[in-house]
Homo-oligomer: A and B are copies of this chain.
Amino acid sequence: MTASINDVARAAGVSASTVSRALRGRPGVSDEVRDQIAAVAAQLGYTASRSASSLASGRTYTIGVLVPYVGRWFFGTVLDSAEKVFSAAGYDVLLYNLGSPETRKRFFTKLPVRKRVDAVLTLLIPDEEESAALRSLGVPLATTVGGIRPGFTVVGIDDRAGTESAVRHLVNLGHRRIGMISGASGPLHWTTPIERRNAYLDVLADAGIEHDPALEADGDYTVEGGERAMTELLAASRPPTAVFAQSDEMAMGALRALRRHRLKAPDDVSVVGFDDHELADVVGLTTVAQPVAEQGAEAARLLLRQLDEPDAEPPGHVQMPIRLVLRETTAPPRPRGPQ
């Protein structure tokens, strides 16, 4: 099999403890012995067994990352950037794709990360019980989604401000019938759709526009859902002239629905998204840009810092900037013909 620490020790003519110390850069080894051991180890292709060392030390050098759906652009991007930060620091990433309720439930009851990770980054929003389960792990916790939660470092954006800028943009263009495609069907503890909805309602009220419940539809944060939602809105007795979608993927679904109805944005309906998806530019989608990759990287960095300085008080909340990106799916409403 592969070389063990004893093989290296024997070949280098020292004890296993010295090899251990030398390879991990701990003090108490003379430089020449250290170099010699490094050479021997390299030559034998020795790498310490993570199982054995974590069993002995209690440290795993592994971070658990919880994701609802890896294939979705937002999560893939956050995961990508977070992984880079972790691996650069010598940590491995254990990935848990917890999209389905069953998988999720099993994860939180069995908690397979117990004794297996030094920290957890969750991209899904745990409810009270799940949060407690994670806290019971006794390791640093971080997230890039949802509101402030005790025991978690959350790196997020100002959902309210982002939504306001999007909806105000539509109001300023002269729209009065402004629909919203939201992702309300998610778990209740996911505050994002709620915050965005409140901001939407506030802007409408502020502009003196009466809210019409028929102008809201659930898009489930997916392209297909967005398409369904838009179709629903178009079927209303008085359809919207503009739509704010709570995510770019839903906005793209909305655009697809428009195409299917032989309608165009912005000529027939204006559409604004949220995220600044990698492909938003391709379809010319006006959207609220948020620094997705940076959020993942920042959350990862904050987690590593907590690992380095266990005594320092971790930041409870970090807010990243957002900005409205104007493209081609928004325009003033078309003057209405005689009704």
Q: Quick check: is A255 within 8 A (CB to CB) of the other chain?
A: yes
Would you give the shortest CB distance from A134 to chain B, in whole angstroms? 13
Besides A70-B79, A223-B281, 14 other CB < 8 A contacts? A45-B111, A47-B110, A49-B114, A49-B116, A50-B51, A50-B112, A71-B77, A71-B293, A72-B76, A84-B103, A92-B94, A252-B282, A256-B281, A279-B283
With CB as the reference atom, state the residue of chain B lying closest to A106: B87
Q: Which residues of B contact A62 (CB under 8 A)?
A: 94
Contact B71 A279 (CB under 8 A): no
B97–A94 touching, CB < 8 Å? no
Residue A96 at the chain B interface, CB threshold 8 Å: yes
Q: Is the interface of A mostly helix, strand, loop or mixed?
A: mixed
Q: Are A93 and B94 in contact (CB under 8 A)?
A: yes
A10 to chain B: closest CB distance in Å? 19
Mark out the residues of chain A between 52 and 76 whose CB falls within 8 Å of any chain B CB in the assembled complex: 52, 54-55, 60, 62, 65, 69-73, 76
Number of A residues whose C-beta is below 8 Å from B? Answer: 56
* Number of copies of this kind of chain in the complex: 2
Do residues A47 and B95 form an inter-chain contact, with CB atoms below 8 A?
no
Q: What's the least CB distance linking A263 to chain B, in Å?
A: 14
B-side contacts of A51, CB under 8 Å? 50-52, 54-55, 60, 115-116
Interface digits, A1-22 against B, CB 8 Å rule (1 contact, 0 not)? 1100000000000000000000
Q: Does A146 contact B (CB under 8 A)?
A: no
Residues facing B in A83-130 (CB within 8 A) are 83-84, 87-88, 92-97, 99, 103, 110-112, 114-116
- The smallest C-beta distance from A47 to any residue of chain B, in angstroms, reads 5
| Known contacts A71-B77, A76-B70, A223-B282; A83 and B97 CB within 8 A of each other | yes
Minimum Cβ distance to chain B for residue A227 (Å): 9
| Inter-chain contacts of A47 with B (CB < 8 A) | 110-112, 114-115
C-beta contact mask, A232-260 vs B, less than 8 Å → 1, else 0? 00000000000000000000110110010
For residue A264, give the distance in angstroms from its CB to the closest CB of chain B.
12
Q: Is A308's beta carbon under 8 Å from chain B?
A: no
Judge whether A315 is part of the interface by a CB distance below 8 angstroms. Answer: no
B114 lies within 8 A of A2 (CB): yes
* A195–chain B nearest beta-carbon distance, Å: 25
